[in-house]
Amino acid sequence: MGEMIRLTADDGHTLDAYRAPAVGTRRGGVVVIQEVFGVNPHIREVCDGYAAAGYEAVAPSLFDRVQPGVVLDYDDDGVAKGRELAAAVGWDGPVKDVWAAATALAPDGRVGLVGYCWGGSWTWVAACRLKVGAAACYYGRHIVEFLDERPNCPVILHFGAEDHLIPLENVETIRAAFPGIPIHVYAGAGHGFNCAARPSYRADAAAIAFQRTLDLFNEHVSPQSPD
C-alpha cells in the first residue's frame, strides 16, 4: 500500500521512512513512531491502518542514525539488539527525525504522533519538545523518566494492566503528575497488546485504543479541528 521515501532532518541527517497515502479524502497527517524492532511489517501495517482512516502516515526509521535499515524479529535477540540501538541513538536525534516526518506531512508540523513501546516514550518526548497537533503514547515505559517535561499538545496514554515492563505504580505516578491527561489502562492486556505479531496481542484492547487515538486526531489534527 505504501512506499519508502527519504527524509532530511534539520541537522542534515537523512533517513528512510515508510509512507502510506491517505485513502479517500485526506484528513491530515500522522507520524507513526516505531518500537525497538524498527520500521517492520507491523509498523507499516499501523501506517496503512491510519491511511485507511484518511490520514497520510509516515514512519521514520529512527535507528538510521546508528544503523540503517533495521528490521528485527520479535524474539530475545531482537529485543536485545533493539534496546542496544535505542540506547545508542538516544533521545535528541529521534526528535529531529520525528520533526522531519511531521513537516513532510504538514509544513507547520500540525500532525498526530503515535508511538509504541520505546516509540511510546519517544512520542512523549517529541510531544514535549515539538509543536504538533496531538500525540498518543502506547506502553512507553520511559515516560516516567521525563515527567519534568510538559507536552505542548493534547496527549493520551495507553497501558496494559498486565504489562510486565511497566508497573502500575509508574502509571499512577504519571497520572498524579498530569491529572489532565487521559490515561487508559486495559484490563488483561500486556506489553505490546497492539501488535498482532506478538503473543501479547489483544484485539479488543487494540481496537478500543485505536478508536480513542483516532478520535483524538479527528479532534485536533483534521483541518476542521477548532484549535
CA-to-CA distance for 149 and 128, rounded, in angstroms?
A: 6
Looking at 17-66, list the stretches that DSSP marks H as alpha helix, in order from N- to C-terminal side.
41-52
Note whether residue 116 is domain-resident: yes
Which residues participate in catalysis according to the annotation? 117, 163, 191
pLDDT of 168 above 70: yes
CA-to-CA distance for 52 and 67, rounded, in angstroms?
A: 30
Note whether residue 176 is domain-resident: yes
Note whether residue 213 is domain-resident: yes
Count: domains in the chain:
1
Q: What is the mean pLDDT of the chain?
A: 96
Q: Which residues contact 199 (CB under 8 A, 6 or more apart)?
A: none
Note whether residue 173 is domain-resident: yes
Query: What pLDDT score does 224 carry?
Result: 58
- Report the CATH number at residue 158: 3.40.50.1820
Kindly state the average pLDDT of the residues 17-25. 97
Note whether residue 38 is domain-resident: yes
Q: Is 42 helix (H, G, I), strand (E, B) or coil?
A: helix
Per-residue model confidence as pLDDT tens digits over 27-73:
999 999 999 999 999 999 999 999 999 999 999 999 999 999 999 99
Note whether residue 227 is domain-resident: no
Note whether residue 109 is domain-resident: yes
Kindly state the average pLDDT of the residues 198-216. 97
Is residue 153 a contact partner of residue 132, using CB atoms and an 8 Å limit?
yes
Band (pLDDT 50/70/90 cuts) for residue 222 is confident
- The residue range of the domain holding 88 is 3-220
Note whether residue 226 is domain-resident: no
Query: What pLDDT score does 178 carry?
Result: 98
